């Protein structure tokens, strides 16, 4: 029983540290794509944390919505904003060529 408790403490401690580290990296990294991937990893870790807190309902929702769908939405938004930036740059080059 004693070893189980120690094991659980180690598991929970690792989970907390990983969550804090992932959150900090996701916020501080300058590359948006990396930040999104870190955010998805954070969501999956958070789902594990909810399981450890005995809230499987929230864990399911976190994994499906928090990590999966939000990640997909963020990636789509990033791709679209890159497209937008590209098209604006193209417009500029066209304008300068015209001048």
Partner 1 sequence: MNIADRRWLSLAFRWLLRLLLLLLAGGLAYAVLSLPDQAVGLTNRVAANLETSGVSNPVTAVLLNFRGYDTLLEMAVLLVALLGVWSLGIAVVPCRVDPEPVLSMLVGGLVPMMILMAGYLLWVGADAPGGAFQAGSVLAASGILLLLSCKRLPVRLPVWPLRLVLILGLATFVTVGAALLPVNGFFLQYPPGLAGALILFIEAAATLSIGVTLAALFLGGRPGPDA
Alpha-carbon distances, residue 6 vs 3, 14, 54, 56 (angstroms):
5, 12, 18, 23
Residue with smaller CB distance to partner 1, 18 or 74 = 74
Token code pair at residue 9: 């403490």
Provide the minimum distance between the beta carbon of 3 and partner 1 in the complex, in angstroms, as a whole number: 27
Residue with smaller CB distance to partner 1, 13 or 56 = 56
Residue with smaller CB distance to partner 1, 42 or 66 = 66
Instruction: Compute the distance between CA of residue 43 and CA of residue 45 in angstroms, rounded to an integer.
Output: 5
Other CB atoms within 10 A of residue 66 CB: 20
Instruction: Compute the distance between CA of residue 11 and CA of residue 8 in angstroms, rounded to an integer.
Output: 5
Residue with smaller CB distance to partner 1, 38 or 62 = 62
Residue window 41-80: x/- pattern of binding to partner 1, with contact defined by CB under 8 A? ---------------xx-xxx--xx--xx--xx--xx-xx
Please give the residue ranges that form the binding site for partner 1 (CB under 8 A). 56-57, 59-61, 64-65, 68-69, 72-73, 76-77, 79-80
């Amino acid at each position: 029983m004693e070893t189980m408790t120690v094991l659980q403490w180690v598991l929970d401690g690792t989970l907390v540290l990983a969550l804090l580290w992932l959150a900090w990296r996701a916020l501080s990294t300058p590359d948006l794509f990396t930040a999104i991937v870190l955010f998805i990893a954070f969501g999956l870790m958070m789902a594990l944390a909810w399981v450890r807190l005995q809230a499987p309902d929230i864990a399911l929702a976190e994994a499906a919505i928090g990590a999966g769908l939000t990640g997909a939405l963020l990636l789509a938004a990033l791709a679209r904003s890159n497209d937008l930036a590209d098209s604006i740059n193209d417009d500029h080059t066209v304008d300068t060529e015209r001048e």
